[in-house]
Amino acid sequence: MELRVLQYFLAVAREESITKAAASLHLSQPTLSRQIKDLEDELGKKLLIREARKVTLTDEGILLKNRAEEILQLVHRTENDITSSNAEEISGKVYLGAGETDAFRLLTQAEKQVQEEHTGISFDVISGGSADITEKLDRGLIDFALVFGSVDSSKFNMVRMPVEEKWGVLMRRDDPMAKLKKIHPKDIAGKPLILSKTSLEDGILLNWMHQDLNQVNLRATYNLIYNGSRMVLEDIGYAFTIDHLINVTGDSEFVFRPLDPSLTAEMHFIWKKYQVLSKAAQCYLDCVLQLLQRES
């Protein structure tokens, strides 16, 4: 399986058309069709469903698309890391994954320190739930991750962050419940809720409410609390979130009320065991560890 052919296949998947993909690749349509057919023969699986006006992916085609994107991303990263390692000045890109948390500011402080010393280092940050971020780290698609909850110590090195995030409820300032100082499980029972997908994965909020998913009035889920806050403004429901992610000071339309009993989330900065880091990633790791040691 050649990288060039994987790129051809991804072009077809993107364009949903062999003709359009061939044009974007500056190939003839018969040449591209033959390359895709040879790939199907090599794998022994049909990858495309060819229809009159477009092509769609089979289940095997979807799997190959996802894996091909990861493979080509890894190749690109490897090329960059090797190229940058030959330079006298440390340079290259560091890949970070993180959930939404105010504690990410500690990692950005490390970013700033690193770039003050090595202007050739840049950062690529992706946001997501802990499960998704950890999977990307495990596959080698990112160098480091900031995740909530427990970590598989057999796979990852970890440092516990010196802060814990506090869960609470984000609501409109004109909501009757805004008069409360804290939110108890009974206060939220039956109310329309907006929950993060990460909290549903680990069940932390459902455990706090002493309810199953089918017992709560779940109106929406979110990955990014900014989007969740827009739903709060439209009175869709009450959003459970981490403190300090949405501005609730001054003339803000929101208020944040902590939970009672208090619910906190511990976080870890993690990286894959036995991973050979690029010089840029190692430089960043050293800076993060020094900073966290000072903060502890």
Using pLDDT thresholds of 50, 70 and 90, give the confidence band for residue 195: very high
Select the more confidently predicted residue: 94 or 88: 94
Task: Write down the pLDDT at residue 11.
Answer: 87
Compute the distance between CA of residue 245 and CA of residue 238 in angstroms, rounded to an integer: 15
Task: Report, as an integer, the average pLDDT of 200-227.
Answer: 92
pLDDT tens, 107-127?
A: 999 999 999 999 999 999 998
Evaluate if residue 246 carries a pLDDT over 70. yes
- What the block records as the tokens of 33 is 């069709």
Select the more confidently predicted residue: 21 or 205: 205
Architecture of domain 90-163+266-295: 3-Layer(aba) Sandwich (3.40)
Least confident of 105-114, 193-202, 233-242: 193-202
Task: Give kind and range of the element (H or E) at residue 137.
Answer: helix 130-138
Secondary structure, 3-state, 237-249: CEEEEECCCCCCC
Taking the mean position of all CA atoms in its chain, how far away is CA 148? 12
What would the CATH number be for the domain defined by 3-73? 1.10.10.10
pLDDT tens, 23-73?
A: 878 889 999 999 999 999 999 999 999 887 888 999 999 999 989 888 888
Using pLDDT thresholds of 50, 70 and 90, give the confidence band for residue 172: very high
Phi/psi for 262 (5° steps) reads -60, 145
3-73 against 164-264: fold identical:
no
Using pLDDT thresholds of 50, 70 and 90, give the confidence band for residue 83: low
Task: Name the pTM for this structure.
Answer: 0.69
Q: Which sequence spans correspond to the domains of the chain?
A: 3-73, 90-163+266-295, 164-264
Task: Write down the pLDDT at residue 113.
Answer: 96
Q: What class is the 164-264 domain?
A: alpha beta
Task: Write down the pLDDT at residue 2.
Answer: 87
Task: Write down the pLDDT at residue 184.
Answer: 97
Task: Write down the pLDDT at residue 15.
Answer: 84
Task: Write down the pLDDT at residue 84.
Answer: 64
